[in-house]
Homo-oligomer: A and B are copies of this chain.
């Protein structure tokens, strides 16, 4: 097993785990936020607009951490600087 194989294997495993682990918390956090939003709408139906708007801003904020992980996964798979170095070497 040479360097190229090793770097490739590490990239594959890391790419998968990064998005897998990185999607745990955003999904749970969004679940909490959505669940609470529904409760808030049930409690104050007249304010559904404000609640929904705040919810969507919050969801975008939470989703951003999942997107960081997705970006890193894509970098590792398609523009991996270490892989490029060895492949070109």
A interface majority secondary structure:
helix
Query: Which of chain B's residues have a CB closer than 8 A to the CB of A55?
Result: 34, 38, 54, 58
Number of identical monomers bound together in the oligomeric complex:
14
Mark A residues whose CB is within 8 Å of B.
1-48, 50-52, 54-59, 61-66, 68-70, 72-73, 75-78, 80-83, 85-87
24 A–B contacts from the bound complex (CB under 8 Å): A2-B3, A5-B6, A6-B9, A8-B10, A8-B86, A15-B72, A17-B17, A19-B20, A20-B22, A21-B21, A24-B24, A25-B25, A26-B65, A30-B31, A34-B55, A34-B59, A36-B36, A37-B54, A37-B58, A41-B54, A42-B47, A45-B47, A48-B54, A77-B81
